[in-house]
Amino acid sequence: MPARHARVKRAAIGALAWAVALWVFFPILWMGLTGFKSEADAISTPPQLIFHPTLASYREVFAQENYWHFAANSIAISVLATIVVLLLAIPAAYAMAFHPGPRTRGTLLWMLSTRMLPSVGVLVPIYLLARNTGLLDTRTGLVVIYVLTNLPIMVWMLYTFFREVPVPILEAGRMDGATRWQEITQVLLPLALPGIASTGLLSMILCWNEAFWSLNLTSSSAAPLPTFIASFSSPEGLFFGKLSAASTLAVAPILVFGWLSQKQLVRGLTFGAVK
Amino acid sequence: MNLRGRALGRKRHGAGMLLSPAVVLLLVWSLVPLAMTLWYSTRNYNLVDPTLHGFSGVNNYWYLLTDPDFLTALLNTAILVGGVLAITVGLGTVLAVLFDQAFLGRGVARVLVISPFFIMPTVSALLWKNLMLHPIYGVYSAMMRAVGLTPVDWLSNYPLATLVMIVAWEWLPFAILILLTAIQSLDSEQKEAARMDGAGPLAQFRFIILPHLARAITVVIMIETIFLLAVFAEIAVTTAGGPGVASTNLAFLIYSRALLQFDVGGASAGGVVAIVIANIVAAFLLRAVARNLET
pLDDT tens for B208-231 read 888 888 888 888 888 898 889 889
Can you tell me the mean pLDDT for B152-173?
Answer: 94
- Write the DSSP symbol of residue B149: P
Reported confidence tier of residue A103, pLDDT bands at 50, 70, 90: confident
Name the residue with higher pLDDT: A266 or A95.
Answer: A95
Residue B71's pLDDT band (cuts 50, 70, 90): very high
Reduced to 3 states (helix: H, G, I; strand: E, B; else coil), residue A99 is: coil
> Minimal Cα–Cα distance from A252 to chain B, Å?
9
B276/A118 Cα distance (integer angstroms): 9
pLDDT value, residue B253:
92
Q: What confidence score (pLDDT) does residue B2 get?
A: 44
Domain B59-294, CATH among 3.30.460.80, 2.130.10.10, 1.10.3720.10, 3.40.225.10: 1.10.3720.10
**Gap between the terminal Cα atoms of chain B:** 10
Q: Do B123 and A254 touch (CB under 8 A)?
A: no
**Domain-by-domain residue ranges, chain B?**
1-41, 59-294
Q: In Å, how far is A47's CA from the nearest CA of chain B?
A: 6
Supply the pLDDT for residue B266: 87
**pLDDT tens per residue, range A21-52:** 999 999 999 999 999 988 888 877 777 777 88
Question: Per-residue confidence at B3, pLDDT binned at 50, 70, 90?
Answer: very low
Residue from A22, A203, A274 to probe the interface with B (highest B Cβ count within 10 Å)? A274
With an 8 Å Cβ cutoff, are A274 and B120 in contact? no
pLDDT at A43: 78
pLDDT per position as a tens digit, A152-162: 989 988 998 89
Domains annotated on chain A, with CATH: 66-269 (1.10.3720.10)
Span A147-168, mean pLDDT?
Answer: 89
Q: Give percent of chain B with pLDDT exceeding 90.
A: 38
Q: Which residue type is seen at B212?
A: H
Q: Looking at A93-97, A209-213, B5-9, B34-38, which range is the least confident one? A: B5-9
pLDDT at B66: 86
pLDDT given for residue B7 in this prediction: 44
In chain A, which among 167-196 make CB contacts under 8 A with chain B? 167, 170-171, 180
Residue of chain B nearest A112, judged by CA positions:
B286
Task: Give the residue from B181, B36, B74, B172 showing the smallest Cα distance to B117.
Answer: B172
Inter-chain contact A117–B129, Cβ cutoff 8 Å?
no
Average pLDDT, chain A: 88
**Are A212 and B232 a contacting pair at CB < 8 A?**
yes
Q: Is B137–A170 a contact, with Cβ atoms under 8 angstroms apart?
A: no
pLDDT at A237: 54
B92 has a pLDDT exceeding 60: yes
Q: Quick check: helix, strand or coil at residue B55?
A: strand
| pLDDT per position as a tens digit, B135-151 | 888 899 888 888 988 88
CB-nearest partner of B98 from A17, A89, A101? A17
Residue B10 has pLDDT above 60, yes or no: no
Rounded to whole angstroms, how far apart are CA atoms B60 and B78? 23
Non-local CB neighbours of A26 within 8 Å, separated by 6+ positions: none
Distance from CA of B170 to the nearest CA of A (A): 10
Measured between alpha carbons, how far is B295 from B288 in angstroms, rounded to an integer? 12
List the beta bridge partners of residue B55. Answer: B43
Residue A145, pLDDT score: 95
B147 — contact with chain A (CB < 8 Å)?
no
Contacts of B29 (CB under 8 A, 6+ apart): A114, A148
Q: What is the pLDDT of residue B218?
A: 85
Q: What is the dihedral of CA B67, B68, B69, B75, to 10 degrees?
A: 120
Is residue B130 within 8 angstroms of chain A, CB to CB? yes
Q: What is the pLDDT averaged over residues A78-96?
A: 95
Complex-level ipTM: 0.88
pLDDT in the model for residue B53? 73
A89 interaction partners in chain B (CB closer than 8 Å): 22
Q: In chain A, pLDDT over 70 holds for what percent of residues?
A: 96
Is the pLDDT confidence value at A91 over 90? Answer: yes
Q: Indicate if the pLDDT at residue B57 is higher than 90.
A: no
Is residue B56 over pLDDT 80?
no
Count of CB atoms situated within 10 Å of the CB of B62: 12
Give pTM, 2 decimals: 0.88
**Among the partner residues A34, A121, A271, nearest to B274 by beta-carbon distance:** A121
pLDDT of B12 over the 60 cut: no
Q: Predicted confidence band at B5 (pLDDT cuts at 50, 70, 90)?
A: very low
Quick: pLDDT tens for A49-76. 778 888 888 988 888 888 999 999 999 9
